[in-house]
Amino acid sequence: MQNKKWTVGVTHLIRPPFDAEQQAFFNKADIIYFDTRDENQFDKSDLEKLDAFLVWTPSIGIQTIKHLKKCKILVRYGVGYDKISLNILSENNIAFSNNPEYGPEDVADTAMALLLALQRRIVEHDNRSRNYDVTWQENHLAPVKHSKNMTLGIVGLGRIGTSMSLRLKAFGYRVIGYDPYISNGMFRAIGIERAESLSELSDQIDALSMHCPLTDETRGMINNEFLAQVKPGLIFINTARGPLVSDLDVIESNLRSGQLSAVGLDVLPVEPPNNHSLIRAWREHADWLTGRLLITPHNAFYSDHSMHECRLNAAQTAKLFLENSIHRNSVG
């Protein structure tokens, strides 16, 4: 089987040339490109040719899976799999893997950058400083919190949450983590405290960073009920999944009330964002929001290195399954 030329599908967000994918298959892959985020636009005859399918942005449901006549494995380039119909894949004897190894440092770096920018009020300083003339250094913004006096909560202690914890420890924060699926030994190994519930974090933390997957258990876990329990002035960071927050109304109302002092989002409940009033205020540089809301376009994972690593790892996972029946990063 080592000399077989496999037919591999690649979806939207990945762009040719497919050097990383071909590297994984030793240049012995026929690659079919599905350049759309909408699975309804996939060419059905092309789907029927595939031995493996590497997917990023599109949802994958029955309308795609029923045409995967030869496909043995579907691999998602990313970590999350909330848009993949795992039960239908299983019913059709198609294996599924995600791709958790790439870029944890990059996501943690982005989360840390958002936290520090908001904590130190960097963007607000930058905006206001343009109008200073006679005065300069005396233009302080208060409050500005001191890292060693802050307690930061982390939800999710996988690769990214662990990478974030290590960064926070180096900066001197007190760190409390919530992840019911991680052993006590892991908490001890990285030197952070454990919370037994999300609510246990609420009255202790000055900032919160999200690093958990989107599941039925975690969807909407950041809501008005939770935010009502936290100390006023919380800094909230989400580089995980947008729907961990119940909706943007929650973010807007708590920013306006001061329950949230600042928010950094790499992910949104709807992407690209719709015309929600919070998004309009952000786009229009509304005075009340200046420096308090930072949004990046779901690319916290990205660096030149991590993107190549992501593509290579996903393709290697598919090849390993096709040629050796080894199911790496199995999900479902």
Q: Catalytic residue numbers?
A: 241, 271, 298
The conformation of residue 217, written as its DSSP 8-state character, comes to T
- Neighbouring C-beta atoms of residue 233, cutoff 10 Å: 14
Nearest 5°: the CA angle 270, 79, 171 is: 90
User: What's the full length of the chain, in residues?
Assistant: 332
CB 310, CB 102: distance < 8 Å = yes
> In 3D, which of 218, 210, 203 has the Cα closest to residue 263?
210
Q: Among residues 226, 230, 152, which one has the least CA distance to residue 193?
A: 152
**Nearest to residue 316, comparing CAs of 305, 302, 304, 327?**
327
308 φ, ψ (degrees, to nearest 5):
-65, -45
